[in-house]
């Protein structure tokens, strides 16, 4: 198997290369940042890329973003993410196509080489390997956001869906307009509708979420 390794730690890169070589695999490129990963995959067309999440320059999610870019440019590219952290935003995007050939393991769970090499083989063959913590975080992320609303917030949202103004909602629910405004702001926050959209646009998005 031909493998690209992407990790900004020289020690980890070298260690992975030794482990893979001992198992009969060849590392065709070992890189330390996201753009180099994208370039190495384009150049070598490996059977698998093993990618760390946090790489230069900000050491936040560059590796995952690069993995998403690899899958966008090369559909079906096999990616195994190894990280100390669960970063759900780009992990969700990486898994969104459902094509397989993707893995996300936490480094502290790769405690024995047999399990790691099994994961390598599974992902290279087009399977999916996910750490239990990753699964748990993704399930929480995909939970129906309306479940987070209180009964009163659901009443306010239902009234919004009828096209009522804050004044009309306040009269119906026997609360102040200020109280309706506070409920509305909490609804926007729980539905992840932030201030980059204008207020009316957020009301429309909230109503659409309710109707779905």
CATH number of 13's domain: 3.40.50.2300
Q: What are the CA-CA distances from residue 130 to residues 23, 76, 124, 185 (Å)?
A: 22, 17, 14, 36
Alpha carbons 89 and 94: distance in angstroms, whole number: 9
Q: How many secondary structure helices (H) and strands (E) does the chain include?
A: 10, 6
Q: What mean pLDDT is predicted for residues 25-30?
A: 97
Amino acid 26: pLDDT: 96
Given 94, 125, 142, the domain boundary residue is 142
Whether residue 159 is found in the same domain as residue 124: no
In the chain, the percentage of residues whose pLDDT exceeds 90 is 42
Which strands, in side-by-side order, build the sheet including 102-106?
26-31, 2-6, 48-52, 79-83, 102-106, 128-130
| 173, pLDDT greater than 70 | yes
- pLDDT given at position 172: 92
Nearest residue to 53 via CA among 108, 11, 117, 105: 105
Q: What range defines the domain where residue 194 resides?
A: 145-211
Residue 22 tokens, joined: 């001992």
110 & 200 share domain: no
Tens digit of each residue's pLDDT (9 = 90 or more) over 90-149: 777 777 665 678 888 888 766 678 889 999 999 999 888 888 777 767 666 656 677 788
Cβ burial of 151 (10 Å; 0-12, 13-18, 19+) is exposed
- At residue 51, the 3 state secondary structure works out as strand
Averaged pLDDT score across all residues of the chain: 85
Whole-model pTM? 0.66
């Amino acid at each position: 198997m031909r493998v690209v390794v992407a990790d900004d730690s020289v020690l980890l890169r070298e260690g992975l290369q030794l482990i893979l070589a001992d198992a009969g695999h060849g590392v065709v490129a070992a890189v330390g940042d996201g753009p180099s990963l994208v370039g190495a995959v384009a150049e070598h067309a490996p059977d698998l890329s093993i990618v760390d999440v946090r790489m230069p320059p900000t050491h936040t999610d560059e590796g995952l973003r690069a993995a998403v870019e690899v899958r966008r440019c090369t559909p079906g590219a096999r990616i195994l993410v190894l990280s100390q952290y669960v970063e759900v935003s780009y992990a969700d995007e990486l898994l969104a196509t459902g094509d397989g050939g993707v893995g996300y393991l936490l480094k502290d769970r790769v405690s024995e080489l047999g399990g790691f090499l099994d994961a390598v083989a599974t992902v290279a063959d087009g399977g999916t390997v996910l750490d239990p913590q990753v699964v748990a975080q993704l399930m929480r992320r995909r939970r129906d956001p309306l479940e987070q609303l209180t009964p009163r917030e659901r009443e306010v949202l239902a009234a919004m869906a009828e096209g009522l103004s804050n004044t009309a909602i306040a009269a119906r629910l026997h609360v102040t307009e200020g109280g309706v405004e506070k409920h509305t702001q909490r609804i926007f926050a729980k539905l992840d509708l932030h201030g980059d959209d204008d207020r009316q646009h957020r009301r429309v998005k909230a109503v659409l979420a309710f109707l779905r």
